[in-house]
Amino acid sequence: MTFKPTVYSIKSVATGRLFDDHGWTLADNEYPSPCLVRAEYQNRKFTPREDLEGFYRYAEWLPVRRTLAGSCAPVTYKSEKLAEHLGLENLYITFSGYWPEKGAFMKTCSFKETEAYSVCARLPEDNDKVMVVASAGNTARAFAKVCSDNKIPVLITIPYDNLGALWFTEELDECVKIIASPAGSDYFDAIALSDIVCKSPMFFAEGGAKNIARRDGMGTTILSAVEKIGRIPDAYFQGIGSGTGTIAVWENNLRLIEDGRFGSHKMKLYPSQNDPFTIMYDSWKASSRELVPFPADQARHAASVIDAKVLSNRKPPYSLTGGLFDAMTDAGGDIYKVTNAELRQWQKTFLELEGIDIYSAAAVAVASLAMAVEDGNVTKDDVIMLNITGGGEKLAWNHHTIHHAKPCLVLDPAVDPAEIIRQVEALFN
Protein backbone atom coordinates (compact mmCIF):
# COMPACT_ATOMS: atom_id res chain seq x y z
CA MET A 1 0.00 0.00 0.00
CA THR A 2 1.28 3.48 -0.91
CA PHE A 3 1.10 5.89 2.04
CA LYS A 4 -0.25 9.34 1.26
CA PRO A 5 1.37 12.12 3.33
CA THR A 6 -0.86 13.55 6.04
CA VAL A 7 -2.52 16.82 5.03
CA TYR A 8 -2.00 19.71 7.44
CA SER A 9 -1.12 23.39 7.77
CA ILE A 10 1.12 25.13 10.28
CA LYS A 11 -0.55 27.39 12.85
CA SER A 12 1.17 30.04 14.95
CA VAL A 13 0.08 29.62 18.57
CA ALA A 14 0.64 33.34 19.21
CA THR A 15 -1.35 34.79 16.32
CA GLY A 16 -3.41 31.94 14.86
CA ARG A 17 -1.85 32.58 11.44
CA LEU A 18 -2.05 29.54 9.14
CA PHE A 19 0.66 28.81 6.58
CA ASP A 20 2.15 25.90 4.66
CA ASP A 21 4.91 23.67 5.95
CA HIS A 22 7.78 24.24 3.55
CA GLY A 23 9.77 21.23 4.64
CA TRP A 24 11.13 21.60 8.17
CA THR A 25 9.23 24.58 9.59
CA LEU A 26 10.02 25.07 13.28
CA ALA A 27 8.73 28.60 13.90
CA ASP A 28 6.56 31.44 12.61
CA ASN A 29 9.07 33.70 10.89
CA GLU A 30 6.58 36.59 10.92
CA TYR A 31 6.30 36.57 14.73
CA PRO A 32 9.31 38.16 16.50
CA SER A 33 9.08 36.49 19.92
CA PRO A 34 9.62 32.85 20.93
CA CYS A 35 6.50 30.91 20.02
CA LEU A 36 5.55 27.34 19.22
CA VAL A 37 3.75 26.42 16.03
CA ARG A 38 1.24 23.57 15.72
CA ALA A 39 0.01 21.25 13.03
CA GLU A 40 -3.56 21.97 11.97
CA TYR A 41 -4.77 18.69 10.46
CA GLN A 42 -7.27 18.48 7.64
CA ASN A 43 -8.96 15.58 9.42
CA ARG A 44 -10.44 17.12 12.58
CA LYS A 45 -11.76 13.77 13.80
CA PHE A 46 -9.68 11.33 15.81
CA THR A 47 -9.43 8.49 13.31
CA PRO A 48 -7.06 5.61 14.12
CA ARG A 49 -5.82 3.90 10.95
CA GLU A 50 -6.60 0.20 11.17
CA ASP A 51 -4.71 -0.32 7.89
CA LEU A 52 -1.39 0.88 9.34
CA GLU A 53 0.84 -0.96 11.78
CA GLY A 54 2.18 0.12 15.16
CA PHE A 55 2.59 3.78 15.95
CA TYR A 56 1.30 4.88 12.55
CA ARG A 57 -2.27 3.93 13.39
CA TYR A 58 -2.34 7.58 14.59
CA ALA A 59 -0.98 8.95 11.30
CA GLU A 60 -4.02 11.19 10.71
CA TRP A 61 -2.71 13.39 13.55
CA LEU A 62 0.98 13.07 12.73
CA PRO A 63 2.83 15.38 10.27
CA VAL A 64 4.39 12.49 8.38
CA ARG A 65 5.29 11.91 4.73
CA ARG A 66 5.79 8.15 5.04
CA THR A 67 5.85 5.26 7.50
CA LEU A 68 8.95 3.56 8.85
CA ALA A 69 9.66 0.01 9.90
CA GLY A 70 9.60 -1.28 13.46
CA SER A 71 7.24 1.04 15.32
CA CYS A 72 5.00 0.26 18.29
CA ALA A 73 2.21 2.39 19.75
CA PRO A 74 1.88 3.13 23.48
CA VAL A 75 -0.38 0.66 25.31
CA THR A 76 -3.09 1.74 27.78
CA TYR A 77 -4.68 -0.57 30.35
CA LYS A 78 -6.81 -0.13 33.45
CA SER A 79 -4.81 -0.61 36.63
CA GLU A 80 -6.10 -2.89 39.34
CA LYS A 81 -3.42 -3.38 42.00
CA LEU A 82 -1.80 0.07 41.94
CA ALA A 83 -5.26 1.62 41.72
CA GLU A 84 -6.41 -0.35 44.75
CA HIS A 85 -3.23 0.56 46.63
CA LEU A 86 -3.92 4.26 46.01
CA GLY A 87 -7.68 4.02 46.55
CA LEU A 88 -8.53 4.93 42.95
CA GLU A 89 -11.43 3.57 40.87
CA ASN A 90 -10.41 4.76 37.41
CA LEU A 91 -6.64 4.70 37.06
CA TYR A 92 -5.43 4.05 33.52
CA ILE A 93 -1.76 3.45 32.82
CA THR A 94 -0.34 4.35 29.43
CA PHE A 95 2.80 2.25 29.12
CA SER A 96 5.60 2.92 26.66
CA GLY A 97 8.32 0.31 26.85
CA TYR A 98 8.96 -3.39 26.49
CA TRP A 99 6.25 -5.59 27.97
CA PRO A 100 5.16 -8.25 25.45
CA GLU A 101 2.48 -9.56 27.82
CA LYS A 102 0.69 -6.20 27.42
CA GLY A 103 1.44 -5.85 23.72
CA ALA A 104 4.24 -3.31 24.28
CA PHE A 105 7.30 -3.90 22.10
CA MET A 106 9.35 -0.68 22.23
CA LYS A 107 12.85 -2.13 22.21
CA THR A 108 14.40 1.08 23.56
CA CYS A 109 11.92 0.83 26.47
CA SER A 110 11.03 4.52 26.19
CA PHE A 111 8.22 6.68 24.83
CA LYS A 112 10.93 8.66 23.05
CA GLU A 113 10.37 6.17 20.24
CA THR A 114 7.11 8.01 19.52
CA GLU A 115 9.15 11.16 18.86
CA ALA A 116 11.68 9.40 16.66
CA TYR A 117 9.16 7.55 14.48
CA SER A 118 7.24 10.77 13.91
CA VAL A 119 10.19 13.12 13.33
CA CYS A 120 12.01 10.72 11.01
CA ALA A 121 8.83 10.06 9.02
CA ARG A 122 8.45 13.81 8.52
CA LEU A 123 11.76 13.79 6.64
CA PRO A 124 11.52 13.45 2.86
CA GLU A 125 13.09 10.29 1.50
CA ASP A 126 15.47 12.34 -0.67
CA ASN A 127 16.85 14.33 2.29
CA ASP A 128 20.60 14.78 1.72
CA LYS A 129 21.63 16.41 5.01
CA VAL A 130 22.43 14.91 8.40
CA MET A 131 19.94 15.45 11.21
CA VAL A 132 21.41 16.41 14.59
CA VAL A 133 19.71 15.29 17.80
CA ALA A 134 20.81 16.43 21.26
CA SER A 135 19.77 14.22 24.15
CA ALA A 136 20.24 13.43 27.82
CA GLY A 137 19.81 9.72 27.09
CA ASN A 138 16.52 8.11 26.09
CA THR A 139 15.92 10.37 23.08
CA ALA A 140 19.40 9.49 21.81
CA ARG A 141 18.67 5.77 22.11
CA ALA A 142 15.33 6.12 20.33
CA PHE A 143 16.61 8.21 17.41
CA ALA A 144 19.70 6.03 17.01
CA LYS A 145 17.54 2.89 16.81
CA VAL A 146 14.96 4.32 14.39
CA CYS A 147 17.58 5.91 12.14
CA SER A 148 19.72 2.76 12.20
CA ASP A 149 16.80 0.51 11.29
CA ASN A 150 15.72 2.81 8.45
CA LYS A 151 19.16 3.93 7.16
CA ILE A 152 18.63 7.62 8.01
CA PRO A 153 21.89 9.54 8.66
CA VAL A 154 21.91 11.10 12.14
CA LEU A 155 24.37 12.70 14.53
CA ILE A 156 23.63 12.18 18.23
CA THR A 157 25.09 14.54 20.85
CA ILE A 158 24.95 13.43 24.49
CA PRO A 159 26.74 14.21 27.78
CA TYR A 160 29.58 11.76 28.39
CA ASP A 161 28.22 10.85 31.83
CA ASN A 162 24.95 9.69 30.23
CA LEU A 163 26.51 7.27 27.74
CA GLY A 164 25.18 4.35 29.75
CA ALA A 165 21.80 5.08 28.18
CA LEU A 166 23.13 4.09 24.76
CA TRP A 167 22.36 0.37 24.77
CA PHE A 168 20.66 -1.41 21.89
CA THR A 169 19.21 -4.79 21.03
CA GLU A 170 21.04 -4.73 17.66
CA GLU A 171 24.31 -3.23 16.49
CA LEU A 172 23.89 0.28 15.08
CA ASP A 173 24.22 0.96 11.36
CA GLU A 174 27.10 3.14 10.16
CA CYS A 175 24.62 5.93 9.36
CA VAL A 176 24.45 6.71 13.11
CA LYS A 177 27.32 8.72 14.61
CA ILE A 178 27.58 9.68 18.28
CA ILE A 179 29.59 12.50 19.85
CA ALA A 180 29.71 13.43 23.53
CA SER A 181 30.38 16.53 25.58
CA PRO A 182 33.05 15.90 28.26
CA ALA A 183 32.68 14.16 31.62
CA GLY A 184 31.05 16.46 34.15
CA SER A 185 28.95 18.21 31.50
CA ASP A 186 25.16 18.10 31.26
CA TYR A 187 22.37 18.08 28.66
CA PHE A 188 22.71 21.81 28.05
CA ASP A 189 26.36 21.25 27.07
CA ALA A 190 25.26 18.54 24.62
CA ILE A 191 22.79 21.04 23.14
CA ALA A 192 25.57 23.64 22.83
CA LEU A 193 27.67 21.09 20.96
CA SER A 194 24.81 20.34 18.56
CA ASP A 195 24.27 24.07 17.95
CA ILE A 196 27.89 24.44 16.86
CA VAL A 197 27.68 21.48 14.48
CA CYS A 198 24.49 22.82 12.90
CA LYS A 199 26.40 25.87 11.65
CA SER A 200 27.79 23.54 8.99
CA PRO A 201 25.64 23.26 5.83
CA MET A 202 26.05 19.49 6.06
CA PHE A 203 23.80 19.31 9.14
CA PHE A 204 20.42 20.51 10.37
CA ALA A 205 18.82 20.59 13.79
CA GLU A 206 16.02 18.18 14.61
CA GLY A 207 14.38 21.05 16.49
CA GLY A 208 13.41 19.61 19.87
CA ALA A 209 10.14 20.89 21.30
CA LYS A 210 9.73 23.27 18.36
CA ASN A 211 9.34 20.33 15.99
CA ILE A 212 5.62 19.60 15.51
CA ALA A 213 6.46 15.99 14.69
CA ARG A 214 8.21 15.49 18.02
CA ARG A 215 5.28 16.89 20.02
CA ASP A 216 2.57 15.13 18.03
CA GLY A 217 4.50 11.88 18.26
CA MET A 218 4.57 12.19 22.05
CA GLY A 219 0.91 13.19 21.97
CA THR A 220 -0.02 9.70 20.81
CA THR A 221 0.08 8.71 24.49
CA ILE A 222 -3.23 10.46 25.14
CA LEU A 223 -4.65 9.06 21.89
CA SER A 224 -3.86 5.58 23.20
CA ALA A 225 -5.57 6.44 26.49
CA VAL A 226 -8.68 7.90 24.88
CA GLU A 227 -9.01 4.86 22.60
CA LYS A 228 -9.05 2.66 25.68
CA ILE A 229 -11.12 4.84 28.00
CA GLY A 230 -13.53 6.30 25.45
CA ARG A 231 -13.22 9.83 26.87
CA ILE A 232 -10.70 12.53 27.80
CA PRO A 233 -9.19 11.79 31.24
CA ASP A 234 -9.73 14.18 34.16
CA ALA A 235 -6.08 14.28 35.22
CA TYR A 236 -2.70 13.53 33.69
CA PHE A 237 0.60 12.60 35.41
CA GLN A 238 4.10 12.52 33.92
CA GLY A 239 7.71 13.06 34.99
CA ILE A 240 9.24 15.90 32.95
CA GLY A 241 12.66 17.13 31.89
CA SER A 242 11.57 19.58 29.20
CA GLY A 243 7.80 19.41 29.62
CA THR A 244 7.37 18.70 25.91
CA GLY A 245 5.33 15.55 26.50
CA THR A 246 2.92 17.45 28.72
CA ILE A 247 2.58 20.22 26.13
CA ALA A 248 1.91 17.52 23.54
CA VAL A 249 -0.97 15.86 25.39
CA TRP A 250 -2.51 19.28 26.12
CA GLU A 251 -2.43 20.05 22.38
CA ASN A 252 -4.09 16.73 21.53
CA ASN A 253 -6.61 17.34 24.31
CA LEU A 254 -7.63 20.51 22.44
CA ARG A 255 -7.96 18.53 19.19
CA LEU A 256 -10.12 15.93 20.94
CA ILE A 257 -12.39 18.67 22.31
CA GLU A 258 -12.79 19.97 18.76
CA ASP A 259 -13.70 16.45 17.63
CA GLY A 260 -16.53 16.56 20.19
CA ARG A 261 -17.00 12.83 20.81
CA PHE A 262 -14.73 12.43 23.83
CA GLY A 263 -15.71 15.30 26.11
CA SER A 264 -15.41 19.06 26.22
CA HIS A 265 -13.08 19.37 29.22
CA LYS A 266 -9.37 19.92 29.62
CA MET A 267 -7.66 17.35 31.79
CA LYS A 268 -5.66 18.85 34.64
CA LEU A 269 -1.92 18.51 34.17
CA TYR A 270 0.34 17.19 36.92
CA PRO A 271 3.92 17.00 35.66
CA SER A 272 6.73 16.39 38.14
CA GLN A 273 10.46 16.87 38.50
CA ASN A 274 13.24 14.99 40.30
CA ASP A 275 14.44 17.07 43.27
CA PRO A 276 16.87 18.95 43.28
CA PHE A 277 16.58 19.55 39.49
CA THR A 278 13.39 21.56 39.85
CA ILE A 279 13.66 24.62 37.60
CA MET A 280 10.09 24.32 36.28
CA TYR A 281 8.65 23.38 39.66
CA ASP A 282 10.33 26.42 41.23
CA SER A 283 9.19 28.73 38.43
CA TRP A 284 5.59 27.47 38.57
CA LYS A 285 5.44 27.78 42.36
CA ALA A 286 6.69 31.36 41.99
CA SER A 287 3.83 32.03 39.53
CA SER A 288 6.52 33.08 37.07
CA ARG A 289 6.32 32.71 33.30
CA GLU A 290 10.05 33.29 33.16
CA LEU A 291 12.31 30.55 34.45
CA VAL A 292 13.84 31.32 37.82
CA PRO A 293 17.64 31.65 37.90
CA PHE A 294 19.48 28.32 37.85
CA PRO A 295 23.26 28.89 37.61
CA ALA A 296 25.15 26.46 35.37
CA ASP A 297 27.29 25.00 38.19
CA GLN A 298 24.22 24.43 40.34
CA ALA A 299 22.37 22.85 37.42
CA ARG A 300 25.26 20.50 36.59
CA HIS A 301 25.46 19.40 40.22
CA ALA A 302 21.70 18.83 40.39
CA ALA A 303 21.82 16.81 37.17
CA SER A 304 24.64 14.68 38.59
CA VAL A 305 22.76 13.70 41.77
CA ILE A 306 19.24 12.96 40.51
CA ASP A 307 18.33 9.37 39.64
CA ALA A 308 16.23 10.42 36.65
CA LYS A 309 19.08 11.85 34.57
CA VAL A 310 16.79 12.40 31.59
CA LEU A 311 14.80 14.97 33.60
CA SER A 312 17.62 17.53 33.53
CA ASN A 313 16.94 20.18 30.91
CA ARG A 314 17.86 23.63 32.22
CA LYS A 315 16.48 25.45 29.16
CA PRO A 316 13.05 23.80 28.76
CA PRO A 317 10.19 25.17 26.58
CA TYR A 318 8.45 26.59 29.61
CA SER A 319 8.20 30.35 29.00
CA LEU A 320 7.58 30.72 25.27
CA THR A 321 4.09 31.16 23.85
CA GLY A 322 2.42 27.75 23.70
CA GLY A 323 4.93 26.27 26.16
CA LEU A 324 4.44 24.54 29.49
CA PHE A 325 3.48 27.66 31.42
CA ASP A 326 0.65 28.31 28.96
CA ALA A 327 -0.43 24.66 29.01
CA MET A 328 -0.59 24.60 32.81
CA THR A 329 -2.34 27.97 33.00
CA ASP A 330 -4.95 26.91 30.45
CA ALA A 331 -5.65 23.39 31.69
CA GLY A 332 -5.07 23.74 35.42
CA GLY A 333 -3.15 21.41 37.67
CA ASP A 334 0.14 21.64 39.53
CA ILE A 335 3.80 20.63 39.38
CA TYR A 336 5.29 18.26 41.96
CA LYS A 337 8.85 17.50 43.00
CA VAL A 338 10.01 14.03 43.99
CA THR A 339 13.19 12.99 45.79
CA ASN A 340 15.41 10.07 44.79
CA ALA A 341 14.27 8.16 47.87
CA GLU A 342 10.60 8.67 46.98
CA LEU A 343 10.99 7.61 43.36
CA ARG A 344 12.98 4.52 44.37
CA GLN A 345 10.23 3.47 46.72
CA TRP A 346 7.58 3.87 44.01
CA GLN A 347 9.74 2.01 41.49
CA LYS A 348 9.75 -0.91 43.89
CA THR A 349 6.02 -0.61 44.63
CA PHE A 350 5.10 -0.38 40.94
CA LEU A 351 7.11 -3.52 40.17
CA GLU A 352 5.45 -5.38 43.04
CA LEU A 353 1.92 -4.31 42.12
CA GLU A 354 1.93 -4.00 38.32
CA GLY A 355 4.61 -6.59 37.57
CA ILE A 356 7.05 -4.60 35.44
CA ASP A 357 10.17 -2.53 36.12
CA ILE A 358 9.96 1.16 35.25
CA TYR A 359 12.53 3.91 34.74
CA SER A 360 13.27 6.53 37.36
CA ALA A 361 11.51 9.23 35.32
CA ALA A 362 8.33 7.15 35.23
CA ALA A 363 8.61 6.50 38.97
CA VAL A 364 8.68 10.28 39.49
CA ALA A 365 5.21 10.37 37.92
CA VAL A 366 3.95 7.51 40.12
CA ALA A 367 5.24 9.25 43.25
CA SER A 368 3.54 12.50 42.22
CA LEU A 369 0.26 10.66 41.71
CA ALA A 370 0.50 9.34 45.27
CA MET A 371 1.11 12.90 46.46
CA ALA A 372 -1.89 14.18 44.52
CA VAL A 373 -4.09 11.53 46.11
CA GLU A 374 -2.81 12.45 49.55
CA ASP A 375 -3.35 16.20 49.12
CA GLY A 376 -6.75 15.79 47.47
CA ASN A 377 -5.90 17.10 44.00
CA VAL A 378 -7.45 13.90 42.63
CA THR A 379 -10.27 11.82 44.08
CA LYS A 380 -11.08 8.13 43.87
CA ASP A 381 -13.66 8.64 41.11
CA ASP A 382 -11.49 10.77 38.81
CA VAL A 383 -10.46 9.23 35.50
CA ILE A 384 -6.68 9.43 35.69
CA MET A 385 -4.04 8.87 33.02
CA LEU A 386 -0.62 7.90 34.38
CA ASN A 387 1.99 8.19 31.64
CA ILE A 388 4.65 5.55 32.29
CA THR A 389 7.20 6.91 29.86
CA GLY A 390 9.62 4.02 30.08
CA GLY A 391 9.88 0.51 31.44
CA GLY A 392 10.65 -3.12 30.84
CA GLU A 393 14.40 -2.69 30.52
CA LYS A 394 15.18 -5.73 32.66
CA LEU A 395 12.83 -7.80 30.52
CA ALA A 396 14.35 -6.48 27.29
CA TRP A 397 17.85 -7.28 28.49
CA ASN A 398 16.74 -10.80 29.37
CA HIS A 399 15.16 -11.31 25.96
CA HIS A 400 17.92 -9.82 23.78
CA THR A 401 21.67 -9.58 23.41
CA ILE A 402 22.58 -6.03 24.39
CA HIS A 403 25.08 -3.86 22.52
CA HIS A 404 26.57 -0.69 24.05
CA ALA A 405 27.47 2.18 21.73
CA LYS A 406 30.49 4.41 22.22
CA PRO A 407 31.06 7.97 21.00
CA CYS A 408 33.13 8.60 17.92
CA LEU A 409 34.40 11.83 19.48
CA VAL A 410 34.37 13.58 22.86
CA LEU A 411 34.30 17.32 22.22
CA ASP A 412 34.19 20.34 24.52
CA PRO A 413 31.73 22.97 23.19
CA ALA A 414 34.01 25.65 24.68
CA VAL A 415 36.82 24.95 22.20
CA ASP A 416 37.22 26.30 18.67
CA PRO A 417 33.87 25.85 16.82
CA ALA A 418 35.60 25.54 13.44
CA GLU A 419 37.68 22.61 14.71
CA ILE A 420 34.58 20.92 16.12
CA ILE A 421 32.82 21.26 12.77
CA ARG A 422 35.88 19.95 10.90
CA GLN A 423 36.11 16.83 13.05
CA VAL A 424 32.40 16.08 12.91
CA GLU A 425 32.12 16.62 9.16
CA ALA A 426 34.95 14.11 8.73
CA LEU A 427 32.77 11.42 10.39
CA PHE A 428 30.37 11.54 7.43
CA ASN A 429 32.89 11.94 4.61
Digit-coded pLDDT (tens) for 262-295? 999 999 999 999 999 999 999 999 999 999 999 9
In this structure, are residues 268 and 160 in contact, taking their beta carbons and an 8 Å threshold? Answer: no
Residue 187 pLDDT: 85
Digit-coded pLDDT (tens) for 402-418? 999 999 999 999 989 99
E-strand stretches of 362-413: 383-388, 403-404, 409-410
- 154-159 and 176-181 strand pairing: parallel
In this prediction the pTM is 0.95
Residue 1 pLDDT: 56
- Tell me the percentage of the chain whose pLDDT exceeds 70: 100
In Å, how far from its chain's centre is CA 382? 25
Among residues 283, 299, 302, the alpha carbon closest in space to that of 291 is found at 283
Count Cα neighbours of 273 within 13 Å in the Cβ-side half-sphere: 22
Average pLDDT over residues 30-48: 97
| 276 upstream amide cis, omega within 30 of 0 | yes
- Residue 417's CB is within 10 A of a number of other CB atoms, namely 15
Digit-coded pLDDT (tens) for 368-386? 999 999 999 999 999 999 9
In this structure, are residues 402 and 169 in contact, taking their beta carbons and an 8 Å threshold? Answer: yes
